[in-house]
Structures are given as C-alpha cells and as structure tokens.
Amino acid sequence: MRPVHRKADPTAGWEIARPSRSTALPGLDMAGFRVHGGSPVELRAIPHPAVTIAVAFGDRPFDIHGATGRMRLESLAAGLGFSAFQVRAEGIECVQMRLSPLTAHAVLGLPLAELRGGVITLDDLWGRDVPRLRERLHHARTWPERFALIDGELSTRLRAGKAVDPEVAWAWRRIVAGHGRTRVGELAARTGWSRRRLWSRFGAQMGLSPKRAAVLVRFDRAVHLLARGHAPARVAADCGYADQPHLNHDVRAFTGATPTAAATEPWLAADDTAWPTAHGGAA
C-alpha cells in the first residue's frame, strides 16, 4: 500500500469548536468557526450528503459567489448536494450545522426539493426567528452555550415538523450504509412501492433522485480520502468507480475542480477537526 502524504493545514489559525457532548437531535452535527481579522479567507464550499445551515453572529456576513451571482448573507441554508460556491470570510463568527436530510425535512419546514440544490438565506424560511437567534448567539459567552441554543431551536422545530415517508427514510439509510454503492434499482422492490413512486417521493422530499443521492454519497467518501492524501487510482478502486476517469468526472461535477485541487480545499481540511464522525452521509 502506498504511503499517505499529509498536506499542510490550510485552516491553521482558525478557531474551530466542537460540542463536548452529543446532541439528542437525530442526524445533527455542528461546529463553531471563528476566522480572526486580517487577510480574508477564500474557500470553496464542497457538497456534502447533508443539508448545510450556517448562522453568523458577529459583525460580518458571509460573502458568497455562486451560480446565481453574489450574495451577502447573515444566515444560509444549502440543500442536499448543493452546487459548489465560493465563500469569502473576513472576521466571521458562525455556527454551522450539518443535518441529515431526514431531519432537515422537518426542521426547515419544507420538502428539500424546494431548495433546488442552491443556497438561500435562512431568514426566508424562519423569518424573524433568525435575527433573534443571531442576537442570542452573539450574547452567549461560550461555544457550549451557543451549541445549546442551536440544539434547542432545532429540537423545537423538529417536533413541530413533518417526517419524511418511512420508505424514503429507509432508502436513504440504505444508500448511506452502502457508501453510495447500493443498487438503487432494487430499492423500490424492497419498499413495496413502484419505481416511479419511490423516485417521485424521494426526489420531492430529499431534493435528489435515489441515483443522484448515491452518486453524492460515493463522491463524499472519495473526496475525503483524496483530502487525506490517498492516491486517486486507489480511491477510485476502493470507492467502486469503474476507473479513475469516472472519479475525476464526479469530482469535477461536484466541486468544479480537479481531484488534485479539490484535495487541498480548506472546506475539506477542516472536516477532521470540525466533523470527526465518519464521512459518507448522516442517517
């Protein structure tokens, strides 16, 4: 086996905080970020098999460049498998959440297909509750206090929200458990639904077709192996790609970069510190 070559950490100097205890909310992981003043940080947001929510509580908003142009947001929600976008952060302070789509469906209060794989301000979904949450986060003295505020907010919304269909939840969990290598054509037969009904309900509630969800989960495992220094040819074989060009294609499709460039992205470099759980999607 070839040695793994560790790269210099492009997030050196960031403050990254983790909750000291597990949340009771299913499918939630979160981290706190503080990028101190000085030179602005430029990073590419890489798609992940979870819904991404971020709430800034300092004096600086997120400066985002994406397919729809430039946006300055104090909060954001990005759907499952969102299109990669650039973030410019200068003196930013925020809590970022990664939510299983099974949980996000209820917490956000809408079918994930309505996010359309893009980025929107969380204010559009939660209204005046977002400025109030930002103010409470700003006045909290510690990261544990902030994580507790987020946990309480999301738990309240989860209880009030509507769960996805059990068949859709089962199909998602099977895709995650198989690291994206599940035979998606067999999912409908196992649920007792027709293929057309499963594809329609899964797409509406999760925002992606079962096939695209499997591609995303497989890509996520592969790109994190690349970020840890594993050779592309070995990653392609280990993750079930037909060959390295197929891996290259998926990396370019999800990130807009080559595998070599994607492997050095700060967004991925932060994961082992901010999200130390196993990669490959939240159940």
What is the model's pLDDT at position 49? 94
| Biggest alpha carbon–alpha carbon distance for the chain | 57
For residue 226, give the nearest of 283, 279, 282, 172 by alpha carbon: 279
Torsion of CA 80, 86, 88, 94, to 10 degrees: 10
pTM, rounded to two decimals: 0.90
Q: pLDDT in tens for each of the 283 residues of the chain?
A: 343 444 556 676 789 999 988 787 889 999 999 987 667 788 889 999 999 999 999 888 999 987 777 889 999 999 988 888 999 877 889 999 999 999 999 999 888 998 877 899 999 999 999 999 999 999 999 999 999 999 999 999 999 999 999 999 999 999 999 999 988 888 998 999 999 999 999 999 999 999 999 999 999 999 999 999 999 999 999 999 999 999 999 999 999 999 999 999 889 988 888 988 655 455 6
What is the model's pLDDT at position 3? 39
Contact 281, 175 (CB under 8 A): yes
Could you give all domains of the chain from N- to C-terminal order, each with its CATH number?
15-160 (2.60.120.10), 166-274 (1.10.10.60)
Residues sharing a CB contact under 8 Å with residue 257, sequence separation 6 or more, in sequence order: 44, 251, 265
What is the model's pLDDT at position 273? 87
